[in-house]
Homo-oligomer: A and B are copies of this chain.
Amino acid sequence: MTDVDWDDELVPDDGGRTRAPELDCPVEVALAAISGRWTTLVLRELMSGPLSFGELRDRLPALSAKVLTDRLRELEARDLLERRTLRGFPVRTSYDLTACGQALRPLLIELYRTGNTLAVLRQDLGR
């Protein structure tokens, strides 16, 4: 019995030859990085430079403090951003994307492009 015929474009090397969602598959790594509601929006805001907790809240007013904290901690744990507590009173905190975090920029652009393409194609279908 021959094995599956892999598509070289979709699965260029062994890392993607999985039959289940393995944590070390590159696709799962990327999905994990942007997973969770609001995450891509937080990333978008930080792409142009570091922001404080309050500045992020100002830019995303409907995002609760709890969920924002969750997202920031997740991104920090994945080495996508760095948290810096600046001394003074009141306390200020700076969130800054790492090189890893900046590496997500092309993916965000591709998400936008793909979403637009889907919208256009669906329009052509009459929905």
- Interface pairs (15), CB distance under 8 Å: A10-B112, A11-B112, A26-B119, A27-B112, A27-B115, A30-B111, A30-B118, A33-B114, A33-B115, A79-B122, A100-B121, A103-B121, A107-B110, A107-B114, A110-B110
- The residue on B at minimum CB distance from A119 is B29
A residues in contact (CB < 8 Å) with B: 4-5, 7, 9-12, 15-16, 18-21, 24-31, 33-34, 37-38, 40-41, 44, 47-48, 59-63, 79, 99-100, 103-119, 121-122, 125, 127
Report the Cα distance A38→B22, complex, angstroms: 10
Q: Knowing A63-B20, A100-B122, say if A47 contacts B10 (CB, 8 Å).
A: yes
Contact across chains for A10 and B122 when beta carbons are under 8 A apart:
no
The answer on a CB contact under 8 Å between A7 and B116 is: no
B59:A115 contact, CB within 8 angstroms: no
Contact, CB under 8 Å: B62 / A10: no
